[in-house]
Amino acid sequence: MTRYNAPFEIHVHGDVPLREDVGYEQIQEALRPLWQYAGARSLAAAAESAYEDEPGIRFDAQARQLQICWTVPGGEDFRQVIEEACMALNDIAAAGAPLEVSFYDTEFDEEDENAEGEARDDFMMCFVGPTPAAIMQVQRDLLVQDVVHLMERHFDGSELGEVVAAIDKLFTQRFDALVSSMQLGRPPRGHGGPRKPRHLH
């Protein structure tokens, strides 16, 4: 169904490497939660983004990669929808990959001097992969990248080996706990912070 007066513009961004044996029908089925949420009857009908300058949802058959840069109007219920899509993508992914999901408050006008409160913008990271280990590897790599980038403002990169080792130790502990329990914890949601500009890729 079309969502008029939707509280958010929701932008999904990421590239997911797919297995060699995966075809378009499997991709369409995996992404069923997304295109049904958009009110379409097929992936092709929903693949275009709400913004013309975004490529939308595309499958690069030569690179074996699902490319997503797609905006859809919606609400908080999209969180469940993207989680369902990620679970389905796990079955056809060739390697771990992150998906960024940004919620932009459509009812907040930065230029309105009389606007009260702050924008309800939010951001979450989702991860897909063929195995829990592949997902954790992507989570680890992103965290190392973020921490090193932050700390290189104050320290030389060559000084940060112990920090990276500490992160690796934390992920090793988490993986060992996962193997023991066979339950992968959900990544934390991001909260607060200044309003970010809607990013185009």
| Chain segment 117-151, per-residue pLDDT in tens | 677 889 999 999 999 889 989 998 888 888 888 98
Supply the pTM of this predicted model: 0.77
Contact assessment for residue 14 and residue 68, using Cβ atoms and an 8 Å cutoff: yes
Helix, coil or strand: residue 134: helix
H or E element, residue 15: strand 8-17
Q: How far apart are CA 144 and CA 198, in angstroms?
A: 25
Question: What is the per-residue DSSP string for 66-83?
Answer: EEEEEEEEE-TTHHHHHH
For residue 192, give both structure tokens: 């607060």
* Largest separation between any pair of C-alpha atoms in the chain: 56
Query: What's the pLDDT tens digit per position in 46-59?
Result: 999 999 999 999 99
